[in-house]
Amino acid sequence: MKLMRWAASAGLLLSAGMLANCSQIFGGEGEGITTAMLVGADGDSANWISHGRTYSEQRYSPLDGVNRENVGDLGLAWFADMDTARGQEATPLVMDGKLYLTTAWSKVKAFDAATGAKLWEYDPKVPGETAVKACCDTVNRGLAAWGDKLFLGTLDGRLVALDRETGAVAWEKVTVDQSKSYTITGAPRVIDGKVIIGNGGAEFGVRGYVAAYSADNGEELWRFYTVPEGGDAKDQPAYLQKAAETWNMDVLGASEAIGGGGTVWDSMAYDPELDLLYIGVGNGSPWNRAYRSPGADGTGEGDNLYLSSIVAIRPSTGEYVWHYQTTPGETWDYTATQHIILADMEIEGKPRKVLMQAPKNGFFYVIDRETGKFISAKPYVSVNWASGIDPKTGRPIENPETRVDKTGKPALVTPGALGGHNWHPMAYHPGEKLVYIPAFEAGMMYAPEADWKPDTARGFNVGFNLGAGDVPADEGFRKQVAGTLKGRLVAWDPVAQKARWTVEHPGPWNGGLLATGGGLVFQGTTGSEFNAYDAGTGKKLWSFAAQTGVVAPPITYTVGGEQYVAVLAGWGGAYALSVDGDLIKRKAPVRNISRLLVFKLGGKVALPAEPALAALPLDPPPSKAAPQVIALGQAKYGRYCAVCHAPGAVGSTVLPDLRRAGSLESAQAWNAVVEGGILKDNGMASFAGSLSKDEIEAIRAYVIHRANEDKALEGAAKKVARR
Ligand code: CA
């Protein structure tokens, strides 16, 4: 019944073209955002009312005021500096000439979309120490709109409804067990008055789910778990009983650390005709299947449904409809939470309703979105964990050498844990019939840890030896490893399953994408540029010096007939925090200046002068600790520190470089931070309970040791330069 109402209203609006200029629909007397508006969002080019612009999440705008011919005249119309200096990953929403966005630390800001005048702001006051529960920075990817409200998921797991006019809190609801390491970084979606949001935490032992809440009052309406509860499955829903056959149910849930994972931390899409909500499901927790779901011989066993799967569910009830698992028996952090795009296209002479995804595992998938049946998949980056996908079964043909269990040899696997594509949204241009993928290459060493013990209070709980892949302080070696890191924009033909064109970037972790009716593709880069490319050829047509890495996806909208392009600049996220910052900087000297940039044709505003990129001198105290103390420090650093402060203590490109920390000089000062938690409001929580005083001091000894190694390396480089 409801479906018919939606379809009818959407059809009416679309066929009448009533939404072509519908800014009068918003505000004042209207009922605000409705189902008809969300279903018909494609016809409303002035606004951007949903995360991926439309329920199909194509991130394609038909606007063509800015186009191939005139994009050279694009200039800054206004900008706004943000009050956080962490990763900025949000897609703004635009309604009736007002722009709403989220920033790091789950803050919300509203601006006049034409002038940049600030209208209101909201700070949910997420406790700083929540940062330690987040795998991948304190980011937030955006809002959802419904009626007169906006909906925000906060890092500490709340769903907050804000009055769109004033930013006042209408209601808020805690959606997670806050005693566990659940976080929310994704944007909610709203379907027929139900606000849908998942969460993250699969590096920390949680059990993943997505849930729906009433837009009116936050009441939980349904919850869909992606993995079964351990133990006996007979009282669980049928789809979880089926999943239970693919798990070691005795081990699952037996410890706080083996929650299974499968978090739904980002992608969703919705087909109103089929009335199916598609969710992308994340990696296993812990990563290493041999610990998560061991077989009789101690190695990992089972597909572990619904990890790394795309699942179709009924949004009114949360009922399971179908699933497709991209990585059975996931063990490499190969999430299928990456952006999902819905489109209709002709394949082998037949019209098909498809769903497309480029998950972390390196294959680009085209799936029948009615049935979940596999259509095709081909690698969009270098892949060594599988040689292909069997077209009959839809299962990967795995390379056994890349599956690391509790013992045995480490394996260098491509893609690595960051994937061949991460959360950065793709875009689909229906005219060019191309999907634009922000792809990259960053392999990873997966090393076994024979006697892994979980710690659910703090630190990464993944079941591998994370310190084993540190790149040594050897100039030739470091240069070589840096050379393997690659970033590119790939224009992918989903029917032919191959790239039509490719643009190489300085390094991995480039921005999300926007495609437009003006024949343009917009993307920010790790090279601190914001660029426009010809959607058909990849030719760079325009470039703006953004002074900072840009990872967020752009949007476009109109106010008073003038087209604007907006992007939230500001470097950060998993790559920026967890990859060796020296290697990142060798590719491009990237840093964070968090700032909303808004462009229009003829825009003449200039940014303030770029601040100098100055590093403090490397001046550590002498390294005097015994080798076994340094080794202990290295192991503990790898487990507890590396994911935010970068492996090898080389410093990330966002958070403090510990080799240059003032507290390195003093055991007391160091302990006051690590055990005492005096910097917890900045995000540096206390590690008391997880690390002993001796271990904390061993970490200091290790960082001092590393700082001295790198100082010697710098000295050697200077000597070479002088010669
Ligand atoms: Ca993960």
Q: State pTM to two decimals.
A: 0.93
The pLDDT assigned to 617 comes to 81
Q: pLDDT tens for residues 22-31?
A: 444 454 445 7
User: Would the pLDDT of 448 be above 70?
Assistant: yes
Distance 282 CA to ligand 1 centre (A): 6
More confident residue, 305 or 617: 305
Q: Could you tell me what percentage of the chain is helix, strand and coil, using 3-state DSSP and rounding each to the nearest 5?
A: 20, 30, 50
Q: pLDDT tens for residues 594-612?
A: 999 999 999 999 999 998 8
Q: pLDDT tens for residues 253-297?
A: 998 889 999 999 999 999 999 999 999 999 999 999 999 999 999
The pLDDT assigned to 12 comes to 41
Looking at residues 353-368, what average pLDDT do you find? 98
The pLDDT assigned to 15 comes to 38
Looking at residues 402-408, what average pLDDT do you find? 95
Q: pLDDT tens for residues 497-554?
A: 999 999 999 999 999 999 999 999 999 999 999 999 999 999 999 999 999 999 999 9
Q: What percent of the chain has pLDDT over 70?
A: 95
Q: pLDDT tens for residues 124-155?
A: 999 999 998 998 999 999 999 999 999 999 99
Q: At what angle do helices 627-640 and 693-722 cross, to 10 degrees?
A: 100
The pLDDT assigned to 30 comes to 54
Looking at residues 565-593, what average pLDDT do you find? 93
Distance 419 CA to ligand 1 centre (A): 10
Q: What is the mean pLDDT of the chain?
A: 93
Distance 421 CA to ligand 1 centre (A): 13
Distance 581 CA to ligand 1 centre (A): 20
User: Would the pLDDT of 723 be above 70?
Assistant: no
Q: At what angle do helices 693-722 and 667-674 cross, to 10 degrees?
A: 120
The pLDDT assigned to 466 comes to 83
Looking at residues 661-685, what average pLDDT do you find? 92
| Residue 691 binned pLDDT confidence (cut-offs 50, 70, 90) | very high
The pLDDT assigned to 27 comes to 44
The pLDDT assigned to 430 comes to 98
Distance 428 CA to ligand 1 centre (A): 25
Distance 132 CA to ligand 1 centre (A): 15
Looking at residues 469-494, what average pLDDT do you find? 91
And the tokens for 626?
A: 């015994």
And the tokens for 662?
A: 């003032």
Element (H, E) at 303: none
CA distances from 419 to 334, 359, 362, 468, 573 (A): 7, 7, 7, 19, 14
Per CATH, which fold does 627-722 belong to? Cytochrome Bc1 Complex; Chain D, domain 2 (1.10.760)
**Other residues' Cβ atoms within 10 Å of the Cβ of residue 254:** 12
| Residue 3 binned pLDDT confidence (cut-offs 50, 70, 90) | very low
Beta strand segments in 228-285, E: 260-261, 268-271, 276-280, 284-285
C-alpha span between 675 and 654 (Å, rounded) = 22
Ranges of each domain in the chain? 2-43, 627-722
Distance 331 CA to ligand 1 centre (A): 10
Three-state SS string across 636-678, please? HHHHHCHHHHCHHHCCCCCCCCHHHCHHHHCHHHHHHHHCCCC
User: Would the pLDDT of 433 be above 50?
Assistant: yes
Catalytic positions are: 333
